[in-house]
């Protein structure tokens, strides 16, 4: 396998062709994007109505229904029909908010299985868990279960998970710390928020305009993460040099998790000896402008 550069890792989460997608609306506001190849499916579905949209290449779809509850019910029925047609995997029973732009109030909710199909903006939390050892800083790396729906067996952050409707980032983090790594609440509460990353990724005919809320946590050397929910098959404690080599080599990383680790290495100066100031600035800028 050919080596991968840090910039390649960033590009893997950018470059979506928005022109290949059509917006869909709730009460006149854009809430997501559906691939043009999928539009005919929704045009024939009773849950959507076609509408004109001059500013969005002259075409769009409007979800029928009014109010949070009715809209959510209508979209859930659409999702059920898409599952029956083989367009989607079965629902997960975990719901994400559907919002318009930067307005935080959800207009409806959608099952996680359909978020990328409908191009809905989602948010997730990602934790860099690191340890200070005599030999230097080490980072905990998770290896995803081979039974995962997405990116089985890939490398991941110590803890990561999507923010379901009604959950704030820190609430999600504390829940995921327990479920994915067996971390006690009092330890998870020490995590420090370090900002967020946004990206717009195209995965085949799905659109992922996501936000990652980032956290760092220095862990005691005697802490050993333990998988609880089965989403992780192993944890590895790697020196940061090995983590960096994995990112610029052929390490099999879940794409958005690679962004989180790269952000950590840049912020904390672990790439200072390897990269010039200009190179680090170029990467930092690229990270902040993936969407």
- Read off the pLDDT of each residue in 240-250 and give the average, rounded to a whole number: 95
Phi and psi at residue 71, to the nearest 5°:
-60, -45
Residue 207: partners with Cβ closer than 8 Å, 6 or more residues away: 16, 18, 21, 32, 33, 34, 35, 116, 119, 200, 201
- Please report the pLDDT score of residue 3 as a whole number: 67
Q: Are strands 192-203 and 159-162 parallel, antiparallel or unpaired?
A: unpaired
Which domains are assigned to the chain?
18-114 (3.30.750.160), 122-288 (3.90.79.10)
What is the pLDDT confidence band of residue 55, given thresholds at 50, 70 and 90?
Answer: very low
Q: Is 145 exposed, middle or buried (0-12, 13-18, 19+ CB in 10 A)?
A: middle
pLDDT in tens, 127-185: 999 999 999 999 999 999 998 888 999 999 999 999 999 999 999 999 999 999 999 99
Q: In 174-260, which ranges are E strands? A: 192-203, 206-218, 232-239
- Please report the pLDDT score of residue 2 as a whole number: 53
- Please report the pLDDT score of residue 52 as a whole number: 60
Quote helix, strand, coil % in the chain, to nearest 5.
30, 30, 35
- Please report the pLDDT score of residue 80 as a whole number: 98
Q: What is the mean pLDDT of the chain?
A: 93
Nearest C-alpha neighbor of 156 from the set 173, 145, 142, 176: 142
Is residue 22 within 8 Å of residue 34, measured between CB atoms? yes
Predicted confidence (pLDDT) at residue 57 exceeds the cutoff of 80: no
Is residue 235 within 8 Å of residue 225, measured between CB atoms? yes
Predicted confidence (pLDDT) at residue 56 exceeds the cutoff of 70: no
Predicted confidence (pLDDT) at residue 54 exceeds the cutoff of 90: no
- Please report the pLDDT score of residue 83 as a whole number: 98
């Amino acid at each position: 396998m050919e080596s991968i550069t840090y910039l390649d890792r960033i590009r893997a989460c950018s470059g979506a062709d928005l022109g290949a997608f059509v917006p869909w609306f709730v009460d006149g506001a854009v809430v997501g994007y559906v691939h043009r190849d999928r539009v005919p499916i929704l045009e024939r579905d009773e849950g959507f109505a076609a509408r004109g949209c001059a500013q969005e290449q002259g075409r769009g779809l409007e979800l029928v229904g009014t109010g949070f509850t009715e809209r959510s019910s209508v979209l859930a029925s659409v999702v059920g029909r898409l599952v029956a047609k083989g367009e989607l995997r079965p629902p997960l029973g975990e719901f994400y908010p559907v919002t318009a732009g930067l307005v935080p109030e959800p207009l409806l909710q959608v099952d996680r299985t359909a978020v990328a199909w409908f191009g809905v903006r989602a948010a997730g939390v990602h934790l860099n868990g690191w340890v200070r050892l005599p030999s230097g800083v080490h980072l905990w790396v998770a290896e995803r279960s081979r039974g995962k729906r997405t990116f089985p067996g890939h490398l991941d952050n110590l803890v990561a998970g999507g923010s379901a409707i009604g959950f704030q980032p820190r609430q999600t983090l504390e829940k995921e710390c327990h479920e994915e790594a067996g971390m006690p609440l009092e330890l998870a509460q020490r995590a420090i928020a370090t900002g967020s990353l946004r990206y717009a990724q195209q995965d085949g005919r799905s659109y992922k305009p996501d936000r990652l809320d980032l956290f760092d946590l220095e862990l005691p050397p005697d802490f050993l993460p333990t998988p609880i929910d089965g989403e992780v098959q192993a944890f590895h404690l790697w020196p940061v040099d090995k983590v960096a080599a994995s990112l610029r080599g052929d390490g099999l990383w879940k794409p958005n998790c690679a962004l989180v680790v790269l952000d950590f290495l840049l912020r904390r100066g672990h790439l200072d000896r390897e990269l010039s100031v200009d190179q680090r600035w170029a990467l930092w800028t690229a990270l902040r402008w993936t969407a």
